[in-house]
Amino acid sequence: MNDSLHVLGIDIGGTKTIVAIADNNGAIIAQDRINTPREQGPSVVLASIEKALRGLITRHPLRITSIGIGCGGPLDRERGVILTAPNLPGWENLDLCEHFEGLFGVPAYLDNDVNLMALGEARYGAGIGVDYMTYFNIGTGIGGGIVIGERLYRGCGNAGEFGHQIILPDGPECTCGKHGCLESLCSGTAIARRAREYLQMPENSASLILSVARGIQAVTAHHIAEAARAGDELAQRIWRETGTYLGLGVANVISILNPRLVVLGGGVMEAGDLLMEPIRQTVQDRAMTQLAADAEIVTGRLGDQAGIVGAVSLALEGEHDEDPSRGKWIALG
Ligand SMILES: [Zn+2]
């Protein structure tokens, strides 16, 4: 391996963006975390990312051979184009790879941010050495990723949308425009909405959640976890219910893919055992016994670094993989 090869990674989020420079083993040498000024439109966001990248390169003058970019989708990975980005107004049909290739003169590769978190966990986190891994990211929304032998399974391009499996046919409206998806029940936003609905009932007016959050409108998943740990019954019920819905989602994925490992990441998982316990219980109760026994369910190891580690992995994969079917469905070995 040539130690002079280095790559850039970019993990674009709705509020924060991480940029990094890494060596050809995927070890991050330096990184920078910047705000995403999304309200000011794509050109301002892209200029601030460029500035951060140039700052990294100035401090670490290394030869860059490729760039890996993670961003919310849907996107056209092969063309390197964002199709629509719900969290990034004005990014429709944005040719992200061409932009960065033009700036830095090296190939750029694009993939869904949660796919890259899955890849990061598979190669450098909870899934090291695991043959069949699935990943859920439970945060503002819910995304997923399927990793087979360290490779992402992408289907026609956007496989692994675990957040949009239907849990309740007549459930709440989802961000995707349909109803009753896992995301419409268990994203951080949805958990807070369900909590507010409970808190509006007179019998719940004494719930600790209200005093922790200082008012019903300010309630977040974080407040509900705090109240649950302090013994609040409603808060504990909300986590049990959330864990049951999530457990059904995990059980469905286990039934379809029979993974060895299910990794759960994202900010909502900071609730820890409040969620893990009912998730594991529901999987045990609802998934087929053998398939449930095959799958270990764990929390992610990389925390909010998973996306940037995955972006670096994507850059390296692009660099070393000449296969024209790259990433679509790569057989093991
Ligand atoms: Zn949906």
Q: Note whether 137 and 272 are same-domain residues.
A: yes
Domain presence at residue 329: no
Predicted local confidence at residue 323, as pLDDT? 44
Distance 183 CA to ligand 1 centre (A): 6
d(CA 147, CA 124): 13
Contacts of 307 (CB under 8 A, 6+ apart): 11, 13, 18, 70, 113, 114, 116, 117, 120
pLDDT at 3: 53
Q: How far apart are CA 130 and CA 126, in angstroms?
A: 9
Measured in Å, residue 72 CA sits from the centre of ligand 1 at 15
Shared domain check, 154 and 114: no
CATH number of the domain at 91, please. Answer: 3.30.420.40
Structural domain count, the chain:
2
Ligand 1 center from residue 178 Cα (angstroms): 5
Tell me whether residue 312 is in a domain: yes
Spacing, Cα 81 to ligand 1 middle (Å): 22
Same domain, 263 and 316: no
Q: How many CA atoms lie within 13 A of 149 on its CB side?
A: 6
* 206 shares a domain with 87: no
Instruction: Check whether residue 49 and residue 161 sit in a common domain.
Output: no
Q: Which residues surround ligand 1, an ion (CB under 5 A)?
A: 164, 174, 176, 178, 181
**Can you read off the two tokens belonging to residue 197?**
């609905």
Examine residue 111 and state whether it is found in any structural domain, yes or no.
Answer: yes
97 and 143, same domain (yes or no): no
Quote the ligand 1 centre to 163 CA distance (angstroms): 6
Q: Are 249 and 162 within 8 A, CB to CB?
A: yes
116 CA → ligand 1 middle, Å: 20
Q: Does residue 56 sit within a domain?
A: yes
Residues 95 and 12 in one domain: yes
Q: What is the mean pLDDT of the chain?
A: 93
How far away, in angstroms, is 168 Cα from ligand 1 center? 11
Residue 32 lies in a domain: yes
208 Cα to the center of ligand 1, angstroms: 31
What is the DSSP track for 161-212? -GGGSBS-TT-PBPTTSSBSBTHHHHSHHHHHHHHHHHHTSGGGTT-HHHHH
Residue 87: predicted pLDDT: 79
pLDDT of 319: 58
pLDDT at 297: 98
The answer to the question of residue 1 being in a domain is no
- Please tell me the distance between residue 162's alpha carbon and the centre of ligand 1 in angstroms: 9
Kindly give the residue spans of alpha helices, DSSP state H, lying in the chain: 42-59, 96-104, 113-124, 183-186, 188-199, 208-213, 221-229, 233-257, 273-286, 289-294, 306-320
Same domain, 77 and 132: no
Q: Which residues pair with 262 in a beta bridge?
A: 134, 297
pLDDT, residue 261, reads 98
Q: What tokens does 317 get?
A: 């994969």
pLDDT beneath 70, residues of the chain: 1-3, 319-333
Amino acid present at 244: T
Q: Are residues 68 and 165 in the same domain?
A: no
In the prediction, which pLDDT does 266 show?
96
Q: For residue 74, is the peptide bond before it cis, meaning its omega torsion is within 30 degrees of 0?
A: yes
- Prediction pTM value: 0.91
Residue 215: domain span: 128-300
Q: From the CB of residue 329, how many other CB atoms can be counted at a distance below 10 Å?
A: 12
151 with 296, same domain: the answer is yes
- Cα(272)–Cα(130) distance, rounded to whole angstroms? 23
Regarding whether 166 and 49 lie in a shared domain, the answer is: no
Residues 284 and 316 in one domain: no
Q: CA–CA separation, 114 vs 124, rounded Å?
A: 15
User: Is residue 331 in some structural domain?
Assistant: no
Question: Contact 117/145 with Cβ under 8 angstroms?
Answer: yes
Q: Is residue 333 part of a domain?
A: no
